[in-house]
């Protein structure tokens, strides 16, 4: 197996302290948002044999296994991250596989450079993802029932929001959510900025269920995403709990440290809480306008001690092992590629001693035994 040397991405919303604290190093004072583990060309992990992209390209079947190559092609189909949100991320959705392929082909035909700020589709893949909390973790996930959203917005007492309240009460679910989100995102920017300011002041005064939206407005003053966020479920995960985010589900992470895994894609359509491009027509094509329970996931334990986060897709499978003091070694050998990430304690993986934030890549079929005291997350695929 290969010890991984991983890149930390310094996005502005990142926490300056959470990832350094996990790694046991001094903060630099700069935001540290995501540590990437995998073979994404934007920031591939490095090994003694070269980047993980180079390693896999040299012999895909040896590294990934014949089954994974046959199902997903000669590439690692997932990206594993440690994510540290010190400020809210943009409100966003991801396309399904057909939408991604269609959108990517269309933008290629139109000759839009892949790095253009108004480009929506960087690749032809979908981007389902799972976030598992390492600390208390706040986020937004999926639409509320329209009546509940109406009551929340009405409670602000802001007159300019009354038309949205009436739409949410007066239309069937899908139409209500679609019409209100469309109205928010296409409103006159100056008028909306004034509405957001009024709403933010009310949220700060009321506190309680309104506190998260006051925080959003503090980070993104005047942004229509503050009002759009009130259409969504607010979720607070405890350590070990997770959220699965499928195609078309609007979501945003607000604060906290977690392990994130996703299909290997960069496709994001933004709804707000961002200075970046918001393509309203394409966004409305992708969003699923239906109320849903956010569906907090808790791991299902097996007799072998593996705790699995069950999701409906095959590009990734995330589980964890909590190794007690004095416990026996565990054999994790699989016929599929694995990344093993330590998040607590000190765990030996093969010949590598892993401390929090350290990881290894295990080629398909290679012996993988872990021992010690701590927590290991295991990322692999289903074939």
Helix residue ranges per DSSP H, 120-276: 146-154, 162-170, 173-186, 189-206, 211-219, 225-229
57 and 65 Cβ atoms separated by less than 8 Å: no
d(CA 227, CA 206): 16
d(CA 115, CA 128): 22
Helix (H, G, I), strand (E, B) or coil at 126: coil
Taking CA 208 as the corner, what is the angle to CA 206 and CA 211, rounded to the nearest 5 degrees?
A: 80
What residues form DSSP beta bridges with 376? 321, 342
The gap between the terminal CA atoms of the chain, to the nearest Å, is 21
What residues form DSSP beta bridges with 3? 360
Selecting among 144, 270, 320, 378, the annotated active-site residue is 270
Q: What is the DSSP code string of 270-327?
A: EEESSSS---HHHHHHH----B-----B-PEEPTTS-EEE--S-SS-EEEEEEEPTTP
Helix residue ranges per DSSP H, 24-96: 52-58, 60-64, 66-72
d(CA 217, CA 114): 31
Q: 317-323 and 307-309: which strand pairing?
A: antiparallel
d(CA 315, CA 262): 8
Q: In the structure encoding, which two tokens stand for residue 80, read together? A: 């594993």
Q: In the structure encoding, which two tokens stand for residue 293, read together? A: 């329970």
Class of residue 98 by CB neighbours under 10 A (exposed 0-12, middle 13-18, buried 19+): exposed
Q: In the structure encoding, which two tokens stand for residue 329, read together? A: 């070694």
- Does 270 qualify as catalytic in the annotation? yes
d(CA 234, CA 252): 10
Which positions are catalytic? Answer: 270
């Amino acid at each position: 197996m290969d010890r991984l040397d991983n890149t930390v991405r310094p996005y502005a919303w990142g926490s300056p302290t959470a990832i350094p604290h996990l790694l046991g190093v001094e903060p630099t004072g700069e935001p540290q948002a995501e540590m990437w583990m995998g073979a994404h060309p934007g920031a591939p992990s490095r090994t003694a044999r070269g980047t993980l992209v180079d390693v896999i390209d040299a012999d895909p079947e040896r590294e990934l296994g014949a089954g994974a190559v046959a199902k997903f092609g000669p590439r690692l189909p997932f990206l594993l991250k440690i994510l540290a949100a010190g400020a809210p991320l943009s409100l966003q959705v991801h396309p399904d596989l057909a939408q991604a392929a269609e959108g990517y082909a269309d933008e290629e035909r139109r000759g839009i450079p892949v790095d253009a700020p108004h480009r929506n589709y960087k690749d032809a893949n979908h981007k389902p993802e799972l976030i598992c909390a390492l600390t208390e973790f706040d986020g937004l996930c999926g639409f509320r029932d329209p009546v509940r959203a109406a009551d929340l917005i009405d409670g602000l007492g802001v007159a300019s929001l009354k038309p949205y309240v009436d739409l949410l009460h007066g239309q069937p679910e899908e139409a209500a959510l679609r019409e209100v989100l469309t109205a928010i995102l296409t409103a006159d920017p100056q008028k909306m900025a004034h509405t957001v300011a009024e709403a933010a002041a009310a949220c700060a005064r009321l506190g309680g269920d309104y506190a998260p939206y006051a925080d959003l407005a503090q980070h993104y003053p005047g942004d229509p995403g503050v009002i759009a966020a009130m259409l969504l479920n607010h979720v607070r995960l405890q350590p070990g709990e997770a959220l699965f985010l499928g195609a078309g589900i609007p979501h945003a992470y607000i604060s906290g440290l977690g392990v994130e895994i996703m299909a290997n894609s960069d496709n994001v359509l933004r709804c707000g809480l961002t200075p970046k491009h918001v393509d309203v027509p394409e966004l409305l094509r992708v969003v699923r306008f239906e109320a849903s329970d956010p569906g907090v996931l808790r791991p299902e334990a097996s007799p072998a001690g593996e705790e699995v986060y069950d999701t409906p897709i095959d590009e990734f499978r995330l589980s964890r092992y909590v190794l007690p003091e004095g416990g026996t070694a565990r054999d994790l050998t699989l016929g599929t590629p694995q990344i093993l990430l330590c998040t607590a304690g000190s765990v030996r993986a093969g010949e590598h001693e892993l401390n929090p934030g350290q990881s290894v890549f295990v080629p398909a079929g290679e012996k993988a035994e872990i021992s010690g005291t701590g927590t290991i997350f295991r990322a692999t695929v289903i074939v």
